[in-house]
Amino acid sequence: MTERDAAEAAGAAAPADPPGSARAGERPRPRPRPRAGSRPRPGNGPRGVDSAETVTIPAVTDDRPLTTDNHAADEAAADDEAARRRGRHRAELDAAAAPALRRRQAVENSPGPGRPPLLANATVEAVPRDDAPGSSDAHLSAEAPNSAEAPFLADEPAKRRTHSRRRSILIRSAIVVVVAAVVAILLRAFVVQPYYIPSESMEPTLHGCSGCSEDHVLVDKVTYRFASIKAGDIVVFNRPKNADVADKVLIKRVVATAGQKVQLRRDASGQWDGKVYVNGLSLEEGYVNKKCGARPTLPLTSTTTWVIPKDHVFVMGDNRCDSIDSRTFGPITDSSVIGRAFLIIWPLSRFGGI
């Protein structure tokens, strides 16, 4: 037997290649996949396996959504159920609170001082809420008042605001009045005070004559706390004990101060010359009332010479012929002086400084 015949005999003895197997030097071909719902033909399966035992792949015929979509739908259904439960719970709470609300409304609507009935016809009812889809939640609501009460209720906030503004204005006005009164009292006691002129003793500088309009002046109470009284000042002082006058407070002009000597003299003929001498010098007194004549200043007692002691002043009225002053009751103490008159405030026709 030749070599060729031996090779052919060996090839015939070798088993045949199964379908889909690759020969030497060839790429293996993929085995075809069976169709959905088809049964394999005889001879298509692997060798040695009966076709009746081949497992078939069922076709997918379920129309349900995918697994993730089913999960989202379940969550939405659970949320709806929870919302319904919450709605029922709120409705139960509101129903339980309804009697207390009715009692409170009854108390508020009861007539009382300064409290008109705002909701006389109010009733409580359950109104469905729409904050949750499909919810049976309910809340309490008051029935709207009738048309006759609507204007009253609409004007109530405006009335309250108006009342509040009026009360605020009254409070502010009261505060201003109290503060002004306190300031006036303090000013009157320690700073400045008005006085009126009761007599004619200071004519014509200050009017106080009968039948005329009395002058009202302001008196400065501060100056003499820091400065000395000066000659020429018009001062208001408490009446001396030995003064024979009815008024408790007097007003005069200072003629001399502490340490000075005041004299009234006679002329060569032995008559009073009508002048005032301070430390031997006669005063030029243009403010003296001209109606008193050429010899205005005359002694009222037997005393005609005065030496002014410490902390005292000598005072006279400008109307020398009708004035009770230091010529009768002597020098007055500085402590009795209330203050210095500096301004006429009434009548307005005479308003101005003194």
Residue 158 shares a structural domain with residue 133: no
Closest CA to 321 of 283, 292, 286: 292
Q: How confident is the model at residue 69 (pLDDT cuts 50, 70, 90)?
A: low
Residue 269 shares a structural domain with residue 315: yes
The active-site residue out of 135, 199, 201, 326 is 201
Closest CA to 139 of 153, 126, 154: 126
pLDDT tens for residues 27-50?
A: 555 555 555 445 555 544 444 444
Is residue 340 assigned to a domain?
A: yes
Residue 204 shares a structural domain with residue 348: yes
Decide: 206 and 354 in contact? Cβ < 8 Å: yes
Is residue 70 assigned to a domain?
A: no
Q: What is the CA radius of gyration of the chain?
A: 63
Residue 205 shares a structural domain with residue 348: yes
275/106: higher pLDDT: 275
The total number of structural domains in the chain stands at 3
Is residue 47 assigned to a domain?
A: no
Per the structure, the complete domain to which residue 169 belongs is given by: 146-195
The active-site residue out of 135, 221, 252, 323 is 252
Residue 134 shares a structural domain with residue 153: no
Residue 188 shares a structural domain with residue 254: no
Residue 314 shares a structural domain with residue 340: yes
Q: What are phi and psi of 237, to 5 degrees?
A: -145, 160
Residue 70 in this model has a pLDDT that exceeds 80? no
One-letter amino acid for residue 124 of the chain: V
Residue 128 shares a structural domain with residue 203: no
Residue 264 shares a structural domain with residue 305: yes
Q: What percent of the chain has pLDDT over 70?
A: 66
Quick one: average pLDDT of 208-229? Answer: 90
252 part of the active site: yes
Is residue 324 assigned to a domain?
A: yes
pLDDT at 134: 46
